[in-house]
Amino acid sequence: MNVLQIPVWADNYAYLICEGREAALVDGPEAGPIEETLSRENLSLAAIWNTHHHFDHVGANRALLSTRKIPVYGSEHDRHRIPCLTQALKEGDRVRLGALEAEVFFVPGHTLGHIAYYIPSEESLFCGDTLFAGGCGRLFEGTAEQMTASLRKLARLPDETRLYCAHEYTLSNLRFAVSVEPGNKRLRDRLREVEEKRSRGVPTVPSVLGEEKETNPFLRGSSPEVIETARSRGGAPSEDAVSVFAAIRSLKDSWKG
């Protein structure tokens, strides 16, 4: 498997998962950069794998389907919200590209129908806007309970799992993370590494799940320092995972750093 990461707009990433000369697109905001990449790399687009219905993830669908007949995969909850959807998916379903097989995880929170695609043979997760490098998606439709369960599900994957999220938000996310858990040395080191990369225009995605567990506040709800921040600054009523997550998410939503 080869993954081509395509920057689109200010901070989006679309992905072409390539197996031989065929490719599956994960979340395309607009068709132009995708068509250019397919042509340059001499690839045939075989399928579209959407994670959720937001326009910056499905905006390319109609234009790409105007010149080819291919399946479009997405959540069964988004049957009427993903353009050109042909294959509705639920938890535990599998999709294939040649010899590659991806397992579908239902991970609501950012939206009610969000799904992620995990390719075990490649230890790769395409997680849309559920889990970011250093952060997680805003709760536009779902609840803190749903997102906490979704993140817990993804956190059970192997630490070596590569996380292909859909936005270059890492620098801002880690600056916020340091404000939540300033005593985390690994986090401070990671922030310096990311600042250096972004100064050179280098992508910080994909990240690795093991590093996220060490530095991402939304996967560190059991950390005493994160719990204290949730209590003292976020007004968390208790130390349970959902209360801590909700408090930290609320702080991030209003953070101006």
Residues noted as catalytic? 52, 54, 56-57, 110, 129, 167
- Encoding tokens for residue 178? 């340091």
Residue pair 148/110 in contact (Cβ under 8 Å)? The answer is: no
CA separation for the pair 85, 108 (Å, rounded): 19
Sign of the CA dihedral with 204 first, then 109, 119, and 71 last: negative
Strand partners, 117: 104, 126
CA separation for the pair 244, 226 (Å, rounded): 8
Torsion-angle region of residue 92: left (phi > 0), alpha (psi -120 to 50) or beta? left
Q: Identify the three-state secondary structure at position 14.
A: strand
CA separation for the pair 85, 37 (Å, rounded): 23
